[in-house]
Chain A
Amino acid sequence: MNNEKVIYVYDGSFEGFLCCVYNFYYNRLKPADIVPMNEYEPSFYQTVEIETDFEQAYKVKFAIEEQMGYENLNFLRECLLSCRKNKEMHMLNYAVKGFKMGGKIKNMLTDPDVNRLFKVHTHLERERRMYLGIVRFYKSGDVYISCIQPKNRILPLIAWHFCTRFSSQRFMIYDKTHGQALINSDGENRIVFADDIQLPPPDENELATQKLWKGFYDAIAIKERYNPRCRMSFMPKRVWNNLPEMGKDVLDRQN
């Protein structure tokens, strides 16, 4: 099983990944890497295209749940949303070890395979938490619109929070990086794929509300404690684009 001359190419879905696991066991062919179709670049490795077969996927899903418990299945599902390269290989190694060790795999934090995947997950989790706070809506007619650019595919992970909180509000969160949008309207919500959405313009008095928010933001900072480095560590520059309060900063201009 140490033939590492092949690369698995799959469709990027969780089911697709499960089929990679299936193939690994079935063909006894250890891949050097597993890459989603849209990121695949030809190399001197031989490629094996993994077809997504729901029956195979179901079998693997069932086996994981039985051997390692639902928690680990869910953990793997979430890890696939990560933007990290090689996440699939880490996931495969985790699954293989998990089949041997059972549910306690999640406690084996010092094991290199486990540790690697935990880091992937921590990165994802951190971004998810940040986005619960920094999604910003603007009003357009009776819809609230937000545009975000996260590194990881966090939309499925934040959907529940926003659909619960704003259940009675019509809104859309558009993930520009990954071309996905979460839409909530009339008590129903779904995630749709949309590469290029033309976002509707904000209402006329939207700017006034944003100005109030910015006014509040500037006034709340304590000059004697000015600490841009600390702010940056919590709220990196790459996310400022989507924050009305970061338009122009009085303190930044002074210093």
Chain B
Amino acid sequence: MDMYEKLKILTDAAKYDVACTSSGVSRGKGAGIGSTNIAGICHSWSADGRCISLLKVLFTNFCEYDCAFCINRKSNDVPRTAFTPRELADLTMEFYKRNYIEGLFVSSGVVKDPDYTMELIIKCVRILRYEYKFNGYIHAKVIPGASAALIDVLGRMADRVSVNIELPSEASLQKLAPQKSRAGILSPMKTIAQNCAVSSKELTVYRHARKFAPAGRSTQMIVGASDDTDFQILRLTQALYDKYRLKRVFFSAYIPINRDKLLPAKDTKPPLMREHRLYQADWLLRFYGFRADEILSEKDNMFNPLLDPKCNWAINNMHLFPCEINTAPYEMLLRVPGIGVKSAQRIIRARKMASLDFDGAKKLGVVMKRAQYFITCRGKSRYYGAIDGQRAYKMLTLAESTAGISQLSLFDIANNYSDQSEPGGASN
């Protein structure tokens, strides 16, 4: 098979994997070629509007496993192929030198067994790092079930390593990916977390020790293939940040590829809105100081499709509002719908100079359409009459539906994948 065909097949097989950021580590000139950028760089945008930063491919789409949701599962009849370690290393270099990409993101089906597969990936990464002196970004996926020693070797050469958690609960994992157990996924995650801790200790002792996955670890899970609730997913996400110190959790709306009685029917639309809401809520967890049980609860366990999670929270907590732009602490500003991290920071900067009125706040990027129900400027409200939750809810959902939900969500969804841009219309 020629390289062109191979690349097409192995890209096609990898495209549902969402993590494609190149951020989190900054490395300047080394002996060889390449550098990394702390904020990540997008090199192109595909026809679905997603940022292309890394050469994202599978090493091979041969697979011993039979996960129900996966296009590469053993029982599927699809063309199969594999790179050799050198082929993939060469391709990465050719693309990199032309500034097509920030680096490589390699994942793989399981050939023979997890360790054998890991060794192939390691060989490729080793050629890049040591033979070609490649200093660019490498994100490698750990194969569930691989031995701790191999994970360590890989983690010391890559910038980011990740293990896909795939499904939000043990029960759905057992149903849909019987060969992978929750333990099999969590144990490499634990190994990785430990290695990171050891590595930062080593770094203080030996200055030249290579840092383990300096850009951190991430995972992704599929939304909509199983019947887990949004609350379950969000709580798991929070635990992954708290307990396993992950840098990012990615969500991927399930796109039915296989006909399987365990899965939603093949004509099911991918739950893009739900995915969008999850990213919005994820942003609230990471940057806005929210906890999962403030956003949803056991009883109220699914997102409101009509309203973003932050507005939804605010409406249920009207007793905390209105909040005065000129005096509210930073943490409170962050909780106001229509105010994002950037505009909150700008407010703090600007109000030291002069007290702000509505025009001023608007100039700083506050979205009045949402914020007006929740703020005062110099003690004045812009909204006439009493503000109660019900009225605000009506106005806000009206605003979102006239903006056109489908339009809005489709337009914003692509943002979710990059590290820098917030899911639009959302948390701010």
What 1/0 mask marks residues of chain A from 92 to 116 whose CB sits below 8 Å from any chain B CB? Answer: 0000000000001001111100010
Q: Is the CB of B44 within 8 A of A134?
A: yes
Q: Is the CB of B354 within 8 A of A213?
A: no
User: Quick one: closest B residue to A225, CB to CB?
Assistant: B48
* Bound CA span A105–B34, Å: 38
Q: Is the CB of A137 within 8 A of B363?
A: no
Q: Is the CB of B411 within 8 A of A229?
A: yes
User: Quick one: closest A residue to B42, CB to CB?
Assistant: A133
What 1/0 mask marks residues of chain B from 4 to 25 whose CB sits below 8 Å from any chain A CB? Answer: 1001100110111000000000
Is A245 engaged at the interface, CB distance under 8 Å to the other chain? yes
* Bound CA span A211–B2, Å: 13
**Nearest Cβ distance between residue B16 and chain A, in whole angstroms?**
7
* Bound CA span A211–B3, Å: 11
**Nearest Cβ distance between residue B256 and chain A, in whole angstroms?**
9
* A220 CB contact (under 8 Å) in B29, B46, B270: B46
Known: A137-B99, A167-B29, A231-B46. A110 touches B354 (CB 8 A): yes
Chain A residue numbers with a CB within 8 Å of B171 are none
* B11 CB contact (under 8 Å) in A104, A219, A223, A245: A219
What 1/0 mask marks residues of chain A from 52 to 63 whose CB sits below 8 Å from any chain B CB? Answer: 000000000000
Chain A residue numbers with a CB within 8 Å of B32 are 168
* Bound CA span A215–B97, Å: 18
* A225 CB contact (under 8 Å) in B97, B270, B353, B363: B270
The segment out of A1-9, A138-146, A188-196 that lies at the interface is: A138-146
Q: Is the CB of A220 within 8 A of B52?
A: yes
* Bound CA span A227–B270, Å: 14
Chain B residue numbers with a CB within 8 Å of A137 are 97-99
User: Quick one: closest A residue to B30, CB to CB?
Assistant: A167
Is A136 engaged at the interface, CB distance under 8 Å to the other chain? yes
Is B272 engaged at the interface, CB distance under 8 Å to the other chain? yes
Q: Is the CB of B44 within 8 A of A133?
A: yes
Give the bracket for the number of chain B residues in contact with chain A.
Answer: 35 or more
Chain A residue numbers with a CB within 8 Å of B11 are 215-216, 219-220
Chain B residue numbers with a CB within 8 Å of A215 are 4, 7-8, 11
* Bound CA span A226–B413, Å: 11
Is B47 engaged at the interface, CB distance under 8 Å to the other chain? yes
* Bound CA span A140–B11, Å: 28
What 1/0 mask marks residues of chain B from 44 to 86 whose CB sits below 8 Å from any chain A CB? Answer: 1111111111011100000000000000000000000000000
Known: A222-B255, A231-B45, A235-B44. A168 touches B353 (CB 8 A): no
Known: A107-B352, A215-B7, A249-B47. A227 touches B98 (CB 8 A): no
Is B28 engaged at the interface, CB distance under 8 Å to the other chain? yes
* Bound CA span A138–B85, Å: 25
Chain A residue numbers with a CB within 8 Å of B8 are 215-216, 218-219
Q: Is the CB of A225 within 8 A of B98?
A: no
A-B contact pairs, 11 of them (CB 8 A): A109-B346, A132-B37, A146-B99, A165-B34, A169-B97, A215-B8, A216-B11, A219-B12, A220-B14, A220-B56, A243-B44
Pick the 5 closest A-B CB pairs, nearest first: A230-B49, A219-B11, A225-B48, A110-B360, A221-B46
